[in-house]
Amino acid sequence: MNGGRTRSVAHQERLVRLTIPARAEYITLGRLALTAIARVRPLSEETLSDLKLALTEACTNSVRHAYREGRAGTVEILYQIESDRLIVEVADDGQGFEPADLTGTGNGDLSEGGLGIAIIRAVSDEVEIDERESGGSRLRFVKFLGE
């Protein structure tokens, strides 16, 4: 029984949760936290830059689209570092979205917000986007780390 508890504690030690106000000026805090977390598992400058770009795009989407009409809210960022990957999840409790809105318009142009998602997909190895059960949106991206 103790082995399960130790595993859970060890798992929790690899998780960092940051909640910021849904305002553009606070996105930098998420980037700074990512930079600090990257010291636990050294990353190349290129990989770290790609991850910071993906994080910035994900947070910007929450700030711009989740809380329209000046509604106050928060953005929650969860960082999870594993031996072979870094997982970042950005969630909000805003208005949500229609998954169809994330696709191009059919003529090769990306809709507003679609370019940020395209950038995240380009620099990440896995991307999941969905609605939270409690309302709002969740974007999770994974970067596999080389030896």
Render pLDDT for 72-107 as a digit per residue (tens, 0 to 9): 899 999 999 998 999 999 999 887 665 555 554 444
Phi-psi region of 135 (alpha: psi -120 to 50; beta: other; left: phi over 0): left
Domain ranges of the chain: 2-144
Class of domain 2-144: alpha beta
Q: Residue 72 in contact with residue 26, Cβ under 8 Å?
A: no
Residue 112 CB contacts under 8 Å (≥ 6 apart), including other chains: none
Closest CA to 80 of 125, 16, 145, 131: 16
Q: What is the pTM for the complete model shown?
A: 0.81
Q: Around Cβ 87, how many Cβ atoms within 10 Å?
A: 17
What is the 8-class DSSP label of residue 95?
A: S
Per-residue pLDDT tens digits of the chain, which is 147 residues long:
455 544 444 555 689 999 999 999 999 999 999 999 988 888 899 999 999 999 999 999 998 888 777 778 999 999 999 989 999 999 998 876 655 555 544 444 445 557 889 999 999 999 999 988 888 899 999 999 875
